[in-house]
Structure 1
Amino acid sequence: MTGNPVRRYYRNAYDYEAVKRLLLDPCRSPEAGACALCSIDPLTQHDHSSELTPLGTDAVLIVDGVFAFRPEINEYWDFRVWLQVDAELSVQRGAERDQDWAGTDAESIHRDRYLVAEHIYLQEVDPLPMMDVVIDNSEFTRPRVVTP
């Protein structure tokens, strides 16, 4: 595959068709009895799509993830929450969290790949106007609502 690796990451990080087929569509269907919470694990490359989780009649699906409001899946959300945090703080938190698997590359992965991809996402999708609520998560132990 050719082209900018960050753009490739942004465009191909998620298999949105699998997300819809395995998780989102079943969770929307009253007839569905189960859904898959994972397709291909990005770290191990193991396929978990046949491991099903039962869906109760009163089940609620909460999804957390980057690029969650891209057009491919944006229609699925009933309520949208944006966790707002300064870019540098995001890089710092991510590098600390991913130190175990990324080692000394953790900061550059977050700064040069994830943060750049996030800027592409913000520019192309402009998700903030879609949000039902925005939460400032600068102080991890004291998040605060910044929009009604």
Structure 2
Amino acid sequence: MTTLLLQPCSSHGSGRAVLCSIDPLTQADHSSVVTIASSDAVLVVDGVFAFRPEINEHWDFRIRLEALPETSLRRGAERDQDWAGSEAEALHHERYLPAERLYVAEVGPLRLADVVIDNTVFSRPQIMQG
């Protein structure tokens, strides 16, 4: 991500960015598809573990979306039903939620965020901090 997207989109970058290298669902390689960003472009990056130390320095502004673990589990299982089938809930319960807990414990994304939004009620997001 750093060399294909973040460095090219930085203030001193070429603007020649790759928006997706390997599609996580299909495993298709898109690394040869280059998009040219204009000099006044704004890059918005969405990622579950976006404040990890190795990439956190690249962000000018950080927004953290929060939701109750039960809500996250339900939404993720519903979203991933098409490709994970009956394993979708177990996948989120046994893999994604523990990974999120570890990330929160090790990185502390709430302290790094400029704004924290409670997204538990999807139709009524609430600013919690910022």
Q: Please indicate, yes or no, whether the TM-score normalized by the shorter chain is above 0.5.
A: yes
Which residue is 1:126 aligned to?
Answer: 108
Pair 1:108-2:69 in alignment: no
Instruction: Provide Cα deviations, 1:47-83, integer angstroms capped at 9, x if missing partner.
Output: 1111011101110001111110001100000001010
Equivalent-residue separation in structure 1 for 2:92 and 2:2 (angstroms): 27
Which residue is 1:56 aligned to?
Answer: 38
Which residue is 2:63 aligned to?
Answer: 81
CA contact (8 A) 2:67 2:118 kept: yes
Matched AA of 2:101: H
CA-based RMSD: 1.0
Secondary structure of 2:65's aligned partner: strand
Q: Give the structure with the higher percent helix.
A: 1
Which residue is 1:67 aligned to?
Answer: 49
Equivalent-residue separation in structure 1 for 2:65 and 2:109 (angstroms): 12
Superposition misfits of 4+ residues, deviation over 4 angstroms? none
Equivalent-residue separation in structure 2 for 1:31 and 1:71 (angstroms): 21
Q: What is the TM-score with the length of structure 2 in the denominator?
A: 0.96
38-47 or 85-94: bigger deviation? 38-47
> Which has the higher relative contact order, 1 or 2, with Cα contacts under 8 A spaced 6 or more apart?
1
Matched AA of 1:77: W
Count of residues paired in the alignment: 130
| Residue 40 of structure 1: how far off its partner (Å) | 1.3
Q: What is the TM-score with the length of structure 1 in the denominator?
A: 0.84
Which residue is 2:77 aligned to?
Answer: 95
Q: Is there any run of 5+ residues in structure 1 with no aligned partner, and where?
A: 1-18
Equivalent-residue separation in structure 2 for 1:22 and 1:127 (angstroms): 24
Which residue is 1:139 aligned to?
Answer: 121
Pair 1:43-2:22 in alignment: no
